C-alpha cells in the first residue's frame, strides 16, 4: 500500500479545506489535502455563490451578520478575480411581513451594514424584472462569488507554497493509538487502490460529512443535514443580487453569476449527506414561491438544478434547520480523547476565510507553530487552474486569441480545445481517472443548455485522441459525466429543457446504445458476415 507523510492532513476540498491549506501553507506549515471526489464537490459547489453583505442575517443572527460584512470586505480586496461586485437589493412585495420591512433599516444600522432605501420606481429602473407589486426596496453591498475559482485559486496558491493535494481519496478509516490518529486510510474509488497517510494533525473539513468522518475516529458530532436546491436560469436575469425582504425563508435569493442567474433555495432535512440531490418538488416550490418577487421566473428557461447540503451543528436538539446557527463550529477532539484531530464545519461561503483562519490558529497552537495568519491581507493570486470557471472567459479568450485550428468542443459555453488542453496541463497531480468530470468542474463544460449532451461526446473523442483515456474508460467516464449532469437536469425537464433532454436521450440511447452493457460477448457480432 502506498503511504504518504505530512504534517497536517486536511480532509475535504471545499472552500474551507482549500482555504485552510492556503492559510497553513502561507504560515509555512506543510499540508496535504485529501478530497473524496473533487474540489468543491460538496456544499462549497452547491450554493448560491453569494457574497453576503450580512443584511440577510440582521434579524436572526447579528454575529453572523457582522462576520459577513467584515469577511465580504476582505474578500473583495484580496480575491477580486473571484468576485463580481454586483451590489444587491432587498425587496418586499405585497403580502410580505410589513413589520419586518419596517424594522429592517434599523437592524442593518445596528450591525453597521450599509442599506439605502430606494424608491420603488428607482428600484424597478435598476432591475426592470422586479414585480410590479413591489412595496419596499433597499440597496445593499451583496456580491457574487465564483466558489470554484475561489477554491481552485486557494489550492493553487497553497500548492505554490508546498501544499499537496489528492483527488478521489475517500477516508475509509483511521488507525488509532495513544489517544490519537496514527494513520488515515484511504480508498481511491475510481481506481480501487488503497493508500494511507501519516500526519501530525488531521483536520476534518468535510462539511456535511464531518459527523461521519469524526465517527470513524470515535468522536461524536451531531449534525443536521439540510439540503438546499437551487435553479440555474439560462440567462442572467438581473444585474444585482435580489433578496426577498422577509424573515429568511425558501426561494428568497436570486444571484447573478456571469451569464446566468441562480435562484434558491430550499431547506429539506435529509438522512444522509449522500442523499442530497435536487428534486422536482423543490424545483416547483422554488419557482412558485419566487415568482412573486420576479414574475419572469415562472416562464424563463432553466438550465439545471443543483443542491448542496448545509451541515448544521446541533447544540441542543432543535428540529428546524433555519433556526440553528449559521455560524461555524470548530471542535478540538481532544474533548473526545483524540488529541490530534480537529473538526471545522458549518458556516457560510462568505466566512470561509475566517473559518480557515480560526482553524489554522488552532492547528498552529497545537503544533506549537508561531506564525501569524496572512490571508486577511495577502492577495489571492489568480491561477490558471481556476480561471476557466469564469463564465464568458472561454469564448472571449477564444475570439480574441484565435488559433486557426482551435475548435470549439463545448458549444454552449464556447470552451475550445486549447482551453481544455490548458486545463488538463494544469492539473498534473490530478491526471488519471475521471478526467471528464474534472474538466467539467474546472470549466464551463457541460454547464450550458445542452448539459453535456453534445460536448460530452466531443470532449471524450478529444481525450481519446490525446491518449488521456483508453479502452472503454472514456465511454464509462462519459456515462458518469452525463449521469452526473442528469442529477441537475432532470428536475427542470419541462418546456424547452424537455426538448433538449429528448434529443440527448435519442442520441445517447436511441443512436449510440450507451445504456446497454457493451462488455458482453453478445457484442462481438462474430456471427455476422
Q: Which of residues 43-72 bind other proteins (CB under 8 A)?
A: none
CA proximity to 184, closest of 163, 213, 206, 157: 213
> Pairing state of beta strands 2-11 and 194-204?
parallel
Please, is 30 exposed, middle or buried when counting C-beta atoms within 10 Å of its C-beta (0-12, 13-18, 19+)?
A: middle
Separation CA 298–CA 89 (nearest Å): 20
For other proteins, the closer of residues 96 and 390 by Cβ is 390
Among 122, 396, 401, 431, binds other proteins (CB under 8 A): 396
* DSSP assignment letter at 16: H
For other proteins, the closer of residues 155 and 482 by Cβ is 482
Residue 518 engages other proteins in binding (rule: CB under 8 A): yes
Binding piece for other proteins, criterion CB under 8 A, among 42-50, 365-373, 379-387, 395-403: 395-403
Residues 301-320 within binding reach of other proteins (CB under 8 A)? 301
- Provide the minimum distance between the beta carbon of 279 and other proteins in the complex, in angstroms, as a whole number: 7
Distances (CA, A) of 22 to 62, 217, 360: 28, 25, 10
Binding piece for other proteins, criterion CB under 8 A, among 1-9, 105-113, 351-359, 412-420: 412-420
Separation CA 58–CA 64 (nearest Å): 8
Residues 327-386 within binding reach of other proteins (CB under 8 A)? none
- Provide the minimum distance between the beta carbon of 230 and other proteins in the complex, in angstroms, as a whole number: 17
Separation CA 288–CA 297 (nearest Å): 9
DSSP of 98-134: HHHHHHHHHHHHHTT---EEE-HHHHHHHSTTS-TTE
Separation CA 304–CA 278 (nearest Å): 9
Three-class SS state of 382? coil
Total Cβ atoms within 10 A of residue 94: 11
- Provide the minimum distance between the beta carbon of 457 and other proteins in the complex, in angstroms, as a whole number: 5
Instruction: Report residue 521 as a C-alpha cell.
Output: 460477448
Residues 264-303 within binding reach of other proteins (CB under 8 A)? 277, 279-281, 284, 287, 300-301
Separation CA 440–CA 446 (nearest Å): 6
Residue 505 engages other proteins in binding (rule: CB under 8 A): yes
Binding piece for other proteins, criterion CB under 8 A, among 69-77, 380-388, 397-405, 418-426: 397-405
Please, is 192 exposed, middle or buried when counting C-beta atoms within 10 Å of its C-beta (0-12, 13-18, 19+)?
A: exposed
Separation CA 98–CA 256 (nearest Å): 27
Q: Which residues contact 334 (CB under 8 A, 6 or more apart)?
A: none
Residue 112 engages other proteins in binding (rule: CB under 8 A): no
Residue 404 engages other proteins in binding (rule: CB under 8 A): yes
- Provide the minimum distance between the beta carbon of 484 and other proteins in the complex, in angstroms, as a whole number: 9
- Provide the minimum distance between the beta carbon of 447 and other proteins in the complex, in angstroms, as a whole number: 11
Separation CA 315–CA 325 (nearest Å): 9
Among 1, 3, 99, 524, binds other proteins (CB under 8 A): 524
Residue 147 engages other proteins in binding (rule: CB under 8 A): no
Residue 525 engages other proteins in binding (rule: CB under 8 A): yes
Total Cβ atoms within 10 A of residue 250: 19
For other proteins, the closer of residues 121 and 392 by Cβ is 392
Among 62, 198, 200, 486, binds other proteins (CB under 8 A): 486
Binding piece for other proteins, criterion CB under 8 A, among 97-105, 186-194, 319-327, 503-511: 503-511
Per DSSP, which regions of 234-299 are E strands?
A: 241-244, 253-257, 260-264, 268-270
Binding piece for other proteins, criterion CB under 8 A, among 33-41, 48-56, 76-84, 446-454: 446-454
**Can you tell me which residue has the cell 506564525?**
371
- Provide the minimum distance between the beta carbon of 296 and other proteins in the complex, in angstroms, as a whole number: 9
Binding piece for other proteins, criterion CB under 8 A, among 166-174, 193-201, 208-216, 408-416: 408-416
Q: What x/- string results for residues 180 through 199 when contact with other proteins is judged by CB under 8 A?
A: --------------------
CA proximity to 456, closest of 488, 473, 480: 480
By CB under 8 A, the count of residues binding other proteins is: 87
Binding piece for other proteins, criterion CB under 8 A, among 124-132, 192-200, 319-327, 394-402: 394-402
**Contact criterion met (CB below 8 Å) for 52 and 72:** yes
Residue 443 engages other proteins in binding (rule: CB under 8 A): no
End-to-end CA distance of the chain: 49
For other proteins, the closer of residues 92 and 287 by Cβ is 287
For other proteins, the closer of residues 425 and 502 by Cβ is 502
Among 399, 401, 429, 431, binds other proteins (CB under 8 A): 399
Q: Which residues contact 464 (CB under 8 A, 6 or more apart)?
A: 470, 474
Residue 413 engages other proteins in binding (rule: CB under 8 A): yes
- Cis peptide bond N-terminal to 105, omega within 30: no
Residues 230-259 within binding reach of other proteins (CB under 8 A)? 234-236, 259
- Provide the minimum distance between the beta carbon of 413 and other proteins in the complex, in angstroms, as a whole number: 8
Binding piece for other proteins, criterion CB under 8 A, among 45-53, 135-143, 361-369, 464-472: 464-472
CA proximity to 341, closest of 223, 220, 222: 220
Residue 446 engages other proteins in binding (rule: CB under 8 A): no
**Displacement of CA 104 from its chain's centroid (Å):** 30
Amino acid at each position: 500500500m502506498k503511504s504518504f507523510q505530512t504534517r497536517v492532513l486536511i480532509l475535504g476540498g471545499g472552500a474551507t479545506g482549500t482555504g485552510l491549506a492556503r492559510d497553513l501553507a502561507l504560515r509555512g506549515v506543510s499540508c496535504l489535502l485529501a478530497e473524496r471526489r473533487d474540489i468543491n464537490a460538496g456544499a462549497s459547489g452547491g450554493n448560491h455563490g453569494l457574497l453576503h453583505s450580512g443584511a440577510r442575517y440582521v434579524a436572526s443572527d447579528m454575529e453572523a451578520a457582522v462576520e459577513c460584512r467584515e469577511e465580504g470586505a476582505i474578500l473583495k480586496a484580496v480575491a477580486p478575480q473571484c468576485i463580481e461586485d454586483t451590489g444587491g437589493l432587498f425587496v418586499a412585495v405585497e403580502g410580505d411581513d410589513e413589520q419586518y420591512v419596517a424594522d429592517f433599516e434599523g437592524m442593518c444600522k445596528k450591525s453597521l451594514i450599509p442599506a439605502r432605501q430606494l424608491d420603488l420606481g428607482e428600484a424597478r429602473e435598476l432591475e426592470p424584472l422586479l414585480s410590479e407589486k413591489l412595496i419596499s426596496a433597499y440597496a445593499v453591498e451583496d456580491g457574487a462569488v465564483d466558489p470554484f475559482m475561489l477554491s481552485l485559486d486557494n489550492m493553487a496558491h497553497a500548492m505554490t507554497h508546498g501544499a499537496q493535494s489528492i483527488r478521489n481519496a475517500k477516508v475509509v478509516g483511521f488507525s488509532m493509538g495513544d489517544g490519537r490518529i496514527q494513520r488515515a486510510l484511504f480508498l481511491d474509488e475510481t481506481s480501487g487502490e488503497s493508500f494511507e497517510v501519516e500526519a501530525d494533525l488531521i483536520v476534518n473539513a468535510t462539511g456535511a460529512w464531518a459527523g461521519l468522518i469524526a465517527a470513524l475516529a470515535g468522536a461524536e458530532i451531531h449534525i443536521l443535514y439540510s439540503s438546499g436546491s437551487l435553479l440555474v436560469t439560462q440567462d442572467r436575469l438581473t444585474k444585482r443580487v435580489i433578496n426577498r425582504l422577509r424573515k429568511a425563508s425558501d426561494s428568497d435569493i436570486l444571484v447573478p453569476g456571469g451569464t446566468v442567474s441562480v435562484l434558491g433555495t430550499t431547506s429539506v432535512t435529509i438522512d444522509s449527506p449522500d442523499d442530497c440531490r435536487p428534486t422536482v418538488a423543490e424545483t416547483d416550490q422554488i419557482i412558485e414561491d419566487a415568482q412573486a418577487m420576479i414574475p419572469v421566473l415562472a416562464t424563463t428557461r432553466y438550465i439545471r438544478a443543483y443542491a448542496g447540503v448545509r451541515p448544521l451543528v446541533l447544540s441542543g436538539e432543535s428540529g428546524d434547520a433555519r433556526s440553528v446557527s449559521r455560524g461555524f463550529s470548530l471542535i478540538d477532539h481532544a474533548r473526545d480523547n483524540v488529541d490530534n484531530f480537529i473538526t471545522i464545519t458549518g458556516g457560510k461561503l462568505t466566512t470561509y476565510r475566517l473559518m480557515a483562519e480560526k482553524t489554522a490558529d488552532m492547528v498552529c497552537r497545537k503544533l506549537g507553530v508561531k506564525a501569524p495568519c496572512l490571508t486577511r491581507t495577502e492577495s489571492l493570486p489568480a491561477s490558471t487552474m481556476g480561471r476557466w470557471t469564469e463564465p464568458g472567459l472561454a469564448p472571449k479568450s477564444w475570439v480574441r486569441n484565435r488559433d486557426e485550428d482551435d475548435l470549439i468542443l463545448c458549444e454552449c459555453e464556447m470552451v475550445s480545445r486549447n482551453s481544455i488542453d490548458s486545463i488538463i496541463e494544469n492539473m498534473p497531480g490530478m491526471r488519471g481517472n475521471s478526467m471528464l468530470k474534472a474538466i467539467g468542474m474546472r470549466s464551463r463544460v457541460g454547464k450550458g443548455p445542452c448539459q453535456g449532451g453534445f460536448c460530452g461526446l466531443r470532449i471524450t473523442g478529444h481525450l481519446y485522441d490525446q491518449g488521456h483515456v483508453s479502452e472503454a474508460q472514456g465511454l464509462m467516464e462519459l456515462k458518469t459525466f452525463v449521469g452526473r449532469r442528469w442529477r441537475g437536469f432532470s428536475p427542470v425537464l419541462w418546456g424547452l429543457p424537455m426538448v433538449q433532454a429528448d434529443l440527448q436521450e435519442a442520441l445517447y440511447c436511441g443512436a449510440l446504445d450507451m445504456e446497454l452493457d457493451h462488455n458482453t460477448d453478445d457484442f462481438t457480432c462474430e456471427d455476422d458476415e
